[in-house]
Amino acid sequence: MMHGIRRLAATEEKLPNMTWALVKRVFAYARPYRLPLLVILLLISASSGLNLLNPLILREMIDRTIPQGNVRRLVLLAVTLLLVALLNGAISVVNRRLNASVGEGVIRDLRVSLYAHMQRMSLRFFTNNKVGELMSRLNNDVVGAQNAVTNSVISIVTSLVQSIAVLVVMFTLDWRLTLISMLVAPFFAVVAALLSRRLRSIVRKQLEANASMNAMMNETLNIGGTLLVKIFGRQAQEVERFSRRANQVKEYGINRAQTGSIFGAIIGLLVAVGTALVYGLGGYFVISGVFTVGTIVAFSSFMLSLYGSVQSLVNAPVDFASSFVSFERVFEVLDQPVEISEKPDAIALTEVEGEIAFENITFAYQAGDGVILSDVHRYGSMDSIVTTLSDGESELEPEERRSQSRGNALENVSFHVKPGQLVALVGPSGAGKTTLTYLIPRLYDPSSGRITLDGTDLRDVTLESLTRQVGMVTQETYLFHDTIRTNLLYSRPDASQAELEEACMAANIHDFVRELPDGYDTVVGERGYRLSGGEKQRLSIARVILKDPRILVLDEATSSLDSEAEALIQEALKRVMLKRTSIVIAHRLSTILAADLILVIDRGRVVEQGNHASLLAQKGLYATLYQTQFRKLAE
pLDDT at 369 over 50: no
pLDDT the model gives residue 403:
54
pLDDT the model gives residue 598:
92
pLDDT at 235 over 60: yes
**Amino acid present at 433:** K
Per-residue burial over 62-74, b if 16 or more Cβ lie within 10 Å, else e, is bbebeeeeeeeee
| Contact (Cβ atoms closer than 8 angstroms) between residue 624 and residue 426 | no
Q: Which one is predicted more confidently, 193 or 514? A: 514
pLDDT the model gives residue 246:
87
pLDDT the model gives residue 288:
79
- pLDDT 10s digits, 284-298: 877 877 777 887 788
pLDDT the model gives residue 394:
36
pLDDT category at 372 given cuts 50, 70, 90 is low
| Contact (Cβ atoms closer than 8 angstroms) between residue 622 and residue 426 | yes
pLDDT at 322 over 90: no
pLDDT the model gives residue 417:
93
Domain spans in the chain, listed from the N-terminal domain onward: 32-334, 420-446+456-634
CB neighbours of residue 498 within 10 Å: 8
Query: Mean pLDDT over all residues of the chain?
Result: 78
Choose among 57, 85, 55: nearest CA to 73.
57
- pLDDT 10s digits, 150-165: 666 677 777 788 888 8
| Contact (Cβ atoms closer than 8 angstroms) between residue 625 and residue 586 | no
Residues in the chain: 635
pLDDT at 570 over 80: no
CA of residue 192 relative to chain centroid, distance: 31
pLDDT the model gives residue 380:
32
pLDDT category at 371 given cuts 50, 70, 90 is very low
pLDDT at 20 over 80: no
pLDDT at 391 over 50: no
pLDDT the model gives residue 4:
40
Q: Same topology for domains 32-334 and 420-446+456-634, yes or no? A: no
CA of residue 172 relative to chain centroid, distance: 54
List the beta bridge partners of residue 163.
none
- pLDDT 10s digits, 197-210: 677 778 778 878 88
Region of poorest pLDDT, from 32-41, 414-423, 571-580: 571-580
**Fold (topology level) of 420-446+456-634:** Rossmann fold (3.40.50)
pLDDT at 370 over 50: no
Return the top range by mean pLDDT from 248-257, 496-505, 518-527. Answer: 496-505
Region of poorest pLDDT, from 321-330, 333-342, 364-373, 561-570: 364-373
pLDDT at 452 over 90: yes
Q: Which one is predicted more confidently, 373 or 586? A: 586
- pLDDT 10s digits, 461-494: 998 899 889 988 887 777 888 888 988 988 888 8
Choose among 569, 600, 361: nearest CA to 473.
569
Region of poorest pLDDT, from 60-64, 77-81, 396-400, 414-418: 396-400
* Superfamily (CATH) of domain 32-334: ABC transporter type 1, transmembrane domain (1.20.1560.10)
Residues 285, 291, 297, 303: is their CA dihedral positive or negative? negative
Q: Which one is predicted more confidently, 537 or 149? A: 537
H/E stretch holding 624: helix 621-625
pLDDT at 242 over 80: yes
Return the top range by mean pLDDT from 10-19, 177-186, 417-426. Answer: 417-426
CA of residue 20 relative to chain centroid, distance: 25
Instruction: Determine the 3-state secondary structure of 264 from DSSP.
Output: helix
Q: Give the number of C-alpha atoms closer than 13 A to the C-alpha of residue 584, restricted to the C-beta side.
A: 29
pLDDT the model gives residue 382:
31
| Contact (Cβ atoms closer than 8 angstroms) between residue 461 and residue 348 | yes
The mean per-residue pLDDT over the stretch 441-469 comes to 90
pLDDT the model gives residue 317:
64
pLDDT the model gives residue 361:
93
pLDDT at 413 over 80: yes
Q: Percent of the chain scored above 70 by pLDDT?
A: 83
pLDDT at 402 over 60: no
DSSP H helical ranges for 222-375: 223-231, 235-288, 293-334
Q: DSSP assignment, residue 409?
A: S
Q: Please tell me the distance from the alpha carbon of residue 580 to that of residue 576, in angstroms, as a whole number.
A: 8
The mean per-residue pLDDT over the stretch 337-344 comes to 85
Instruction: Determine the 3-state secondary structure of 383 from DSSP.
Output: coil
The mean per-residue pLDDT over the stretch 2-12 comes to 38
Instruction: Determine the 3-state secondary structure of 455 from DSSP.
Output: coil
The mean per-residue pLDDT over the stretch 375-387 comes to 32
pLDDT the model gives residue 450:
93
pLDDT the model gives residue 41:
83
Residues 168, 177, 78, 65: is their CA dihedral positive or negative? negative
pLDDT the model gives residue 216:
80
pLDDT the model gives residue 418:
92
